């Protein structure tokens, strides 16, 4: 009898452990997106009726036009709320909440329209074929914005995921469009965000893996703002489409900004004399390894307060009043295609610029590539520019390559024109021409194959190094109407 009783206790314990292992209702496996199929909507319905709300689901309370969800699970939200809000507050009850937005229009005149107070995670699922709107304040608030006002249209104290196949417009007329105090992930859907302050702001991280995100903001477009926790403060774009128009920085990370895929378009239209309005910015690094990226900024197009690395993808950068790509430590181009179409200095680093591969095209109103600087803390000019591979073309108004300490050439092809002299330490023979060239000239020469360069500015110096060039070889350069000849030397 005792043996049977013991077996029953063990069985009961195993059943209890199995029950504890079950996922909370409404949760989905981390690697599987929630279904946005209209035929698979949760039965728990929160129906918005203008100035009232109807809902009979367990764990949901309604007071006036404020809906409070106090239990984990999945809920369908449908209809229009003229002035109210949905609050998710599980308190100490662990679990996730999924809101399936299926034609929901939610406006709160004085605060956040959707507010996550406490939960393990809030999933906003945009139902396929649906159009949804979430608004805080009115357009008048946008026109008279001041920084003391609070109330992002969507505000999450915990993790926030946005996914699905529908559409969502977010109007943050009071302050930000979307604010998340933890990790924000955008996985799908068509999302348009307007922010009187920032468009999309998360404290710990912003990750975009799919869908479409269009942001218009008076200040910063997309940003992660806190590095208090280890490995946090980053912005990561892996896929999808991201378009940003911002008066401040376009996409900004408190730590590292990483782009490995997707299509990214950024424009900043602020005044650099009044605020930072860089295109892409990372405080501990910028890493671009894939994707198609286009940046047009008033300030630096791409700025890293540490290292900047491009190892893939296609990047087009334009700066009206700053540098194309700028770093404080090493600026490295390993692979991919980088085109700086307008800038002060095209590529600039306080320490080292290294071109190891890929294709680089630079048009610059000052120096094409600048390595190093002289300033407070420097007893002498320091800085290195190194070519190890790839193909580089430069047209600069000033020096095509300005290495404050050392210009070293160990490989690759470089075809450049501008003003000033070049004194490279080269393992390879190179050609150096003196010319009186004009903007608009087409420069061509043949070393094994034909090489071409368009001169955007007047120039006095033309430099070439490339495979197939031998020391002492005489090569003719056609520079507009001029025909010049030089011998390769080291």
Q: Residue 69: name the closest of 48, 106, 51, 44 by CA.
A: 44
DSSP string, 345-390: SSEEESSEEEE-SSEEEEEESS-SEEE-B--TT-SS-B-EEEEEEE
Q: 76-114, pLDDT tens digit by residue? A: 999 999 999 999 999 988 899 999 999 999 999 999 999
pLDDT of residue 381: 67
Q: 143-178, pLDDT tens digit by residue? A: 888 877 888 999 999 999 999 999 999 999 999 999
Give me the percent of the chain exceeding a pLDDT of 70. 92
CB 21 within 8 A of CB 8: no
Q: 385-414, pLDDT tens digit by residue? A: 999 999 999 999 999 999 988 999 999 999
CB count within 10 Å of CB 139 equals 11
- The SS3 of residue 184 is strand
Q: 440-484, pLDDT tens digit by residue? A: 999 999 998 999 999 999 999 999 999 999 999 999 999 999 999
CB 293 within 8 A of CB 318: no
pTM for the model:
0.91
Average pLDDT, the chain: 92
pLDDT of residue 33: 82
The structure tokens listed for 31 are 């690697």
CB count within 10 Å of CB 15 equals 10
Parallel/antiparallel/unpaired status of strands 401-403 and 369-371: parallel
Task: Show the CA angle centred on residue 472, arms to residues 469 and 473, nearest 5°.
Answer: 50
Mean pLDDT of 32-37: 87
Parallel/antiparallel/unpaired status of strands 302-304 and 280-282: parallel
Give me the percent of the chain exceeding a pLDDT of 90. 84
The structure tokens listed for 96 are 């996730």
Q: 185-211, pLDDT tens digit by residue? A: 999 999 999 999 999 999 999 999 999
């Amino acid at each position: 009898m005792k043996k049977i009783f013991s077996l029953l206790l063990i069985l009961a314990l195993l059943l209890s452990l199995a029950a504890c292992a079950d996922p909370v209702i409404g949760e989905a496996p981390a690697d599987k997106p929630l279904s946005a199929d209209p035929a698979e909507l949760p039965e728990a319905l929160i129906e918005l009726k203008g100035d009232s709300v109807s809902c009979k689901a367990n764990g949901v309370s309604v007071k006036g036009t404020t809906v409070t969800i106090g239990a984990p699970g999945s809920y369908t939200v449908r209809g229009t709320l003229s002035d109210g809000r949905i609050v998710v507050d599980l308190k100490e009850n662990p679990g996730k909440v999924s809101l399936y937005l299926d034609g929901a229009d939610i406006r709160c005149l004085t605060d956040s329209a959707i507010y996550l107070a406490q939960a393990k995670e809030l999933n906003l699922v945009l139902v396929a074929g649906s159009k949804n709107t979430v608004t805080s304040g009115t357009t008048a608030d946008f026109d008279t914005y001041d920084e003391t006002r609070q109330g992002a249209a969507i505000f999450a104290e915990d993790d926030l995921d946005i996914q699905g196949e529908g559409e969502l417009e977010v109007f943050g007329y009071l302050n930000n469009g979307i604010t998340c105090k933890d990790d924000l992930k955008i996985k799908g859907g068509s999302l348009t965000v307007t922010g009187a302050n920032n468009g999309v702001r998360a404290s710990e991280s912003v990750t975009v893996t799919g869908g479409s995100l269009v942001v218009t903001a008076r200040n910063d477009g997309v940003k992660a703002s806190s590095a208090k926790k280890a490995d946090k403060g980053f912005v990561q774009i892996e896929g999808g489409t991201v378009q940003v128009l911002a008066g401040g920085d376009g996409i900004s990370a408190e730590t590292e900004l990483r782009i490995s895929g997707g299509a990214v378009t950024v424009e900043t239209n602020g005044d650099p004399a009044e605020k930072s309005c860089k295109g892409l910015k990372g405080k501990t690094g910028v890493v671009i390894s894939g994707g198609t990226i286009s940046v047009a900024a008033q300030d630096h197009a791409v700025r890293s307060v540490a290292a900047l690395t491009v190892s893939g993808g296609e990047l087009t950068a334009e700066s009206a009043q700053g540098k194309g790509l700028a770093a404080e430590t090493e600026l490295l181009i390993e692979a991919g295609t980088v085109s700086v179409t307008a800038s002060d200095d095209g590529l600039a680093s306080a320490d080292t610029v290294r071109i190891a591969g890929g294709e680089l095209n630079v048009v610059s109103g000052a120096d094409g590539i600048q390595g190093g600087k002289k300033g407070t803390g420097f007893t002498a000019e320091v800085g290195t520019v190194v070519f190890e591979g790839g193909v580089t073309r430069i047209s600069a108004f000033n020096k095509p390559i300005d290495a404050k300490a050392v210009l070293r050439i160990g490989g690759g092809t470089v075809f450049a024109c501008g003003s000033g002299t070049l004194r490279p330490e080269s393992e390879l023979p190179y050609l150096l021409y003196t010319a009186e060239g004009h903007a608009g000239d087409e420069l061509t020469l043949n070393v094994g194959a034909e090489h071409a360069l368009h001169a955007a500015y007047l120039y006095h110096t033309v430099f070439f190094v490339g495979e197939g060039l031998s020391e002492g070889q005489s090569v003719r350069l056609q520079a507009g109407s001029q025909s010049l000849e030089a011998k390769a030397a080291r």
